Amino acid sequence: MTRFLGLLFITLFLSACSSNDNWRTASREPAGIAPSPETEKAAVIEFYAADAFSWRGWFAVHTWVAVKSQNAPEYTVYEVVGWRVERGLPALYEYKTATPDRFWFGAKPEKVLSITGEKAQALIPKIEEAVKRYPWANEYTVFPGPNSNTFPAWIGLQVPELELDMPFSAIGSGYADNE
């Protein structure tokens, strides 16, 4: 009986801690922390991290990369998403947007790295080349990787001038050292 009550308590506790279990209704609104391409004409590189969706966010983050060349009207965002693989698509996803800082299914992102100006303009081609060489573009494994955190970490290793320091909770970022 004690074992049953303990299991019941843990189950209730864990289900009560989840802020939003429905990815369809979770916020994907811009967080307002990225420079607007309309006003910021200089080149921009941004790395973001947000708590992973649902209970995974208690201990892990999802990370992604956004770049905007000088005078570009939009950012190019690069991220790795596991459910794309489940649908027969590459895990590595690239898209254009004016708002690269959108909430990650209810979780507000934070900047991991931000570079603006001439240094960003010089590094963007190196990032784009590294993206093309990403060795796990069609793979995704939650743990130990490759996953969404492996990708930005790998970019950081390929472009050391970024001086990227991944968050401790970027589980799977160490997998990038395996290449």
CB 153 within 8 A of CB 174: yes
Distance CA 130, CA 61 (A): 22
pLDDT at site 83: 85
Residue-wise pLDDT tens for the chain (179 aa)?
Answer: 666 554 544 544 444 444 445 655 555 577 899 999 999 999 999 999 998 866 655 779 999 999 999 999 999 999 999 989 999 999 999 999 999 999 976 789 999 999 999 999 999 999 999 999 999 999 999 999 999 999 999 999 999 999 999 999 999 999 999 76
